[in-house]
Structure formats: structure tokens, C-alpha cells
Chains A and B, each alone.
Chain A
Amino acid sequence: MIVDIKERLGKTKYDVDKSYAHITVDERICEKCPHHFCVMACPAQCYTLQDGKLNFQYEDCVECGTCSVACDQGSVKWTFPKAGKGVIYKYG
């Protein structure tokens, strides 16, 4: 029963805040990052590498905070989404 991560994320409910990205990354720092550990650590595949360049999207974020620890280069700025926005677990 192998399910692709995108399909699994598709089962989870969100109210995405289109006007506010609660996590931002500094591309200039990511460019020089020696490991891009965020790509491995993020359980929601928000961080991907495309031709060696880090790509980040916050829309699928499940707000676990893993990247705030995984990034040891000072690139990730982590804040809580605004009032009620973001992931809304139906089961938990």
C-alpha cells in the first residue's frame, strides 16, 4: 500500500493563508548550504532541490517545526500561521 507523499498530503485538510507565508527562507543562504538537510527532514516535502537549487513552498506545511531545527544555517524564519489558518487535522 505505498502511497506517494503528494497523494498522502492531499488527504490532509488545510486553510491556506494565501496572503501570508508563515515560513520564509533566505535563498542567498540556501545557495551556499553544504547539506540541504531540510529536504530530507521535512515530512511534507515543502523543500525540494531542482538542479541543485532549493525550492520552498509553505502551502503543504503541517507546522511540525522540524525545519526550524533542521536548518542550522540561519535561513529558515519560522512563525505561526495567522489566526486559524494552516493545517486543520480532522483526526489528529
Chain B
Amino acid sequence: MPDYDAIVVGAGNAGSAAAITMASKGLSVLLVDRSDPPGAKNLSGGVLWGNDLARILPKWQSEAPLERYIQNKKIGFLTDDSSIIIDFKTKIFEENKVGYTVLRSKFDPWLAKKAKEAGAMVIPGITVESLAKKDGKIVGVVESGDTITASVVILAEGINPRLAIEAGLREPLQDWEVSVGVKEIIKMSPQKIEDRFNLTSTSGMASEYIMGNLKELNVGAFFYTNKDSISLGIVSPMEQLRANGVTHTYDIIEQFKEHPSIAPLIEGGTVAEYGAHMIPEGGLEMIPKLYGDGYMIVGDAAGFGFSNGLVLQGMNYAFLSGILAGETAVEAKGRNDFSENFLALYKQKLEGSYVLKDLKTFKDIRKVTNNKNMYTVYPKMLESILLEMLWERGQPKKKVRDILSSCAADLNLSKLKTATDFYYIYRRM
């Protein structure tokens, strides 16, 4: 008889969501996290959309430690001198209030507490050393030389999945599968944030940028408002960092902060925290085998992330994959069958959800996001068009068609290459 029905390794969004789902259906659940308080190793670089969280915690909006609801979403392109920003502000966001900025060191302990309230045994500050195997099955975890057993182990260990790699459940990560995220928290008074970004005491702004001012790298950047701080950071693909070979990741974030359109936004603020995290960006191709005899893999550990350079998805995939793994475990308990055969249900559930549907729809997105023109040439082109159209220099105006062809010539861009790029954006994005 195993010690628990389920052991969940990692109390981030995916792990805690799985624990809540199982414990609330009466399963005996052990949830461990290597940090104390849980989540203190985690960084968020995205907006938390609560649709999935609402399935297990309907009152999340009034109970969770949230920062600001997203009323205003911006998409920006930066060149050396300019910024071109699409500023989307809608009453629909204001009325629905489902997207929020969060700080993980506040949010994750709350979610783990909810797992405890649901009946799970939650132990933070425990580093699982390895997975216990017997006859090719995962039967538990090993910590300080002791084996704790369970019918199923749910691996929610995050983007650096040491246990899964060690146990041979997935290959070590490759360059193309990850980006390096670097983040800072800039402390600023709520008053200043609300005045500067035209917000109320509860509303917030989330911006994503394409950094066209870096010549060799396709770097995306983010800038979000919290209650009394700004979260900002950069996301840089490992493949390109290696090919480039001369840029320190810790300098790229400074280049973002120094940009003429970003610097005034953080003026008067002070750096309160610096951190970094990898981000899964390999899409469908990086997803490992998601289940086997006695285990399931959820969240970042499974590679459930998505990025098209402008949208980052990770936390929401984490909630949903955790919930679906939890539901699978509940059904497995009902049948008393935790075999690979039965746990295949987890993958079926994922395939019916937006997690694997999105990853399938955008399976070729890397052809767009890896295209250097997207980051360096097209923002520059946009800048040239706007300068030509909006700057009165006492010269005769040109038609857009003529501006475009002179830009393409200036930027050394062939018509065929441009047409191909746009074909890919149209087909794959």
C-alpha cells in the first residue's frame, strides 16, 4: 500500500492546481516544493488569465493576492530611435477583469495554501533527490535517503526538469527548446504608476515589445504594472545567443531599460529585485512523453509554453495541465489503475483542450519568431514609413507603395524575401 495516492513535485501553478484538484476529490496528496515559502524560486513574465483557475477556485478574484487587472494591453516595436506602439484599451477588459499581473512570491504561497485547505499535505523546503523506480514504474520519490511512495507522481518541477531528465523520462533540454528570460522589479509608488500610465487604483497595463534595436538577436521584452512596482524583462532565444556569442544576457535587459521610450517610464524608480528563468519555447516538438506507469508531467516541465514574440503563455497552460492531470488521477483512483495505459487519458484530455490545440495550431511559429527580419528589418521599415508619412520636411510626399520599395532598397531587402516572410506570417502566426 503506497504512502499517498499522489505525490506532486513542485508547488507552482501546475503542481498546486493538480494537488487542489485531487485533494478536493478525496485523494491523499503530498505536495512538496524545494523552496520555502513555496514559489520563491519562480518568476512570472506574463499575465495570469483566470479562466482555468476559476474551475478549481471560483472565488480566486476576491481571494488571491493579485496586483492589477489588465485594462490596457500594448504591443510595441522598438528601433534605435523610435517606438511604434499599438495601445489597446477596452471596456471589455474592464468589465470582465480576468487578466491580472501577479508576483509569484505572493501568489504561489496562496495557491499552495488552497491545496492545504483542500486536504493536501503541503511541505515546502523539500528537495526531492530522485524518483523511486520499481520494475520500470515510477513508485515514489527519494529524499534524504528515504523513499516515500505513491500510486502516481506528478512532476511539476518547472522548466529545468532535473528529476525527469535524471530518470530518463525526457532528454536534456536543447538550445532550440528554450529562451533565457531576465527580469527586474522596479519599485515605484502606486500614485506615480497610476499617473504615469493613466490607471486607476486597481487597473493595470501590460506591454510586449519586439526589440528591433538589437542587431543580431530576436529579443522580446515585457513591461507590466504591479500595485507598487513595475515588472520588466527580456526574453532571448538560446540558439541565437549562442550564434551571436558576444552578448551578455544581463546587458540586454539594460539595453531595454535605456531605450529612449522606456527610460522615462522607469525614471524615479529603484531596482528592487533581479532574477532570471528559462522559458519553454520549443512548441509542440519539445513536448516529452507526458505520462507513463505511475507518472504524469505538467506545466513548464512538460514544455507547455507558447510565444509568438508578442504573447507569452505559460501560467495558464500550467493551471490547465495541472487540473487535467489531477482529474486523470482521480479517475485512475476510481479504477485503481495507474498504469501507462490508463494515464493516457491525461493526454486525451490535453488534446481536447486549448493547450495542445494551441501548440498544434502554432507548431511552425518558430519559423516566424526565428526570422531575423521580424525583429530587425520590419520595425525599421515601419519607422521609415511613419517618418515619411508623418514628418513634414518641405519635400513632396510619396505614395505608400513607393515608400515601401525605397525602404526595401535601403534595407537591402529583396521583394521575394519580403513576400516569403509575409507569407509565413500569414500562414503560421
Contact among B105, B180, B249, B263 for A91, CB-based, below 8 A: B105
Of A4-12, A24-32, A50-58, which stretch is located at the interface?
Answer: A4-12
Contacting residues, chain B, for A62 (C-beta < 8 A): 274-277
Contact among B41, B162, B263 for A86, CB-based, below 8 A: B41
Q: By the criterion CB–CB under 8 Å, are B34 and A83 in contact?
A: yes
Q: By the criterion CB–CB under 8 Å, are A11 and B249 in contact?
A: no
Tell me how far the C-beta of B346 lies from the nearest C-beta in chain A, rounded to whole angstroms: 25
Contacting residues, chain B, for A69 (C-beta < 8 A): 172-175, 177-178, 238, 278
Contacting residues, chain B, for A89 (C-beta < 8 A): 40-43, 104-105, 273, 275
Tell me how far the C-beta of A36 lies from the nearest C-beta in chain B, rounded to whole angstroms: 9
Check if B35 is an interface residue, CB within 8 A of chain A.
yes
Tell me how far the C-beta of B103 lies from the nearest C-beta in chain A, rounded to whole angstroms: 5
Check if A21 is an interface residue, CB within 8 A of chain B.
no
Q: By the criterion CB–CB under 8 Å, are B254 and A80 in contact?
A: no
Q: How far apart sit A78 and B163, CA to CA, in the bound complex (Å)? A: 11
Within 8 A of B (CB), among A28-54: 35, 37, 39-45
Q: How far apart sit A8 and B182, CA to CA, in the bound complex (Å)? A: 12
Q: By the criterion CB–CB under 8 Å, are B254 and A78 in contact?
A: no
Residues A43 and B182 in contact in the complex (CB < 8 Å), given A3-B254, A69-B174, A91-B272: yes
Check if B5 is an interface residue, CB within 8 A of chain A.
no
Q: By the criterion CB–CB under 8 Å, are B245 and A37 in contact?
A: yes
Number of chain A interface residues as a range: 35 or more
Contact among A1, A12, A79 for B162, CB-based, below 8 A: A79
Contact among A1, A9, A42, A65 for B274, CB-based, below 8 A: A9
Check if B283 is an interface residue, CB within 8 A of chain A.
no
Contact among B107, B172, B182, B241 for A40, CB-based, below 8 A: B241
> Which label, helix, strand, loop or mixed, suits the secondary structure of the B interface?
mixed
Tell me how far the C-beta of B191 lies from the nearest C-beta in chain A, rounded to whole angstroms: 19
Chain A 68-92, CB-CB to B under 8 Å as 1, else 0, gives 1110000000111111101111111
Check if B66 is an interface residue, CB within 8 A of chain A.
no
Contacting residues, chain B, for A41 (C-beta < 8 A): 180, 238, 241-242, 249
Of B124-132, B335-343, B371-379, which stretch is located at the interface?
Answer: B124-132
Contacting residues, chain A, for B125 (C-beta < 8 A): 83-84
Contact among A37, A82, A91 for B273, CB-based, below 8 A: A91
Q: By the criterion CB–CB under 8 Å, are B276 and A80 in contact?
A: no
Number of chain B interface residues as a range: 35 or more
Contact among A8, A63, A92 for B104, CB-based, below 8 A: A92
Chain B 160-172, CB-CB to A under 8 Å as 1, else 0, gives 1010000000001
Q: By the criterion CB–CB under 8 Å, are B275 and A40 in contact?
A: no
Tell me how far the C-beta of A75 lies from the nearest C-beta in chain B, rounded to whole angstroms: 14
Closest chain B residue to A60 by CB distance? B274
Q: By the criterion CB–CB under 8 Å, are B242 and A43 in contact?
A: no
Contacting residues, chain A, for B35 (C-beta < 8 A): 84, 86, 88
Residues A3 and B275 in contact in the complex (CB < 8 Å), given A90-B105, A92-B43: no
Chain B 371-414, CB-CB to A under 8 Å as 1, else 0, gives 00000000000000000000000000000000000000000000
Tell me how far the C-beta of A11 lies from the nearest C-beta in chain B, rounded to whole angstroms: 5
Closest chain B residue to A40 by CB distance? B248
Q: How far apart sit A3 and B244, CA to CA, in the bound complex (Å)? A: 23
Check if B246 is an interface residue, CB within 8 A of chain A.
yes
Q: How far apart sit A5 and B253, CA to CA, in the bound complex (Å)? A: 10
Within 8 A of A (CB), among B232-274: 238, 241-242, 244-250, 254, 257-258, 263, 266-267, 269, 271-274
Check if B185 is an interface residue, CB within 8 A of chain A.
yes
Q: By the criterion CB–CB under 8 Å, are B241 and A92 in contact?
A: no
Residues A43 and B159 in contact in the complex (CB < 8 Å), given A37-B242, A69-B278, A87-B41: no
Residues A64 and B162 in contact in the complex (CB < 8 Å), given A87-B41, A92-B105: no
Contacting residues, chain B, for A87 (C-beta < 8 A): 40-41, 275
Q: By the criterion CB–CB under 8 Å, are A1 and B267 in contact?
A: yes
Q: How far apart sit A35 and B242, CA to CA, in the bound complex (Å)? A: 9
Chain B 293-312, CB-CB to A under 8 Å as 1, else 0, gives 00000000000000000000
Chain B residues near A (Cβ < 8 Å):
34-36, 39-44, 103-108, 124-127, 159-160, 162, 172-175, 177-178, 180-182, 184-185, 226, 229, 231, 238, 241-242, 244-250, 254, 257-258, 263, 266-267, 269, 271-278
Q: Which A-B residue pairs are the 6 nearest by beta carbons?
A: A65-B160, A92-B104, A43-B276, A84-B125, A92-B105, A8-B274
Question: Could you name 6 residue pairs across A and B whose Cβ atoms are closer than 8 Å?
Answer: A2-B258, A64-B276, A65-B159, A70-B238, A83-B34, A89-B105
Given contacts A69-B178, A89-B43, 12 further A-B contacts (CB under 8 A): A1-B266, A12-B275, A39-B248, A40-B241, A44-B276, A68-B172, A70-B242, A78-B160, A83-B34, A89-B273, A90-B272, A92-B108
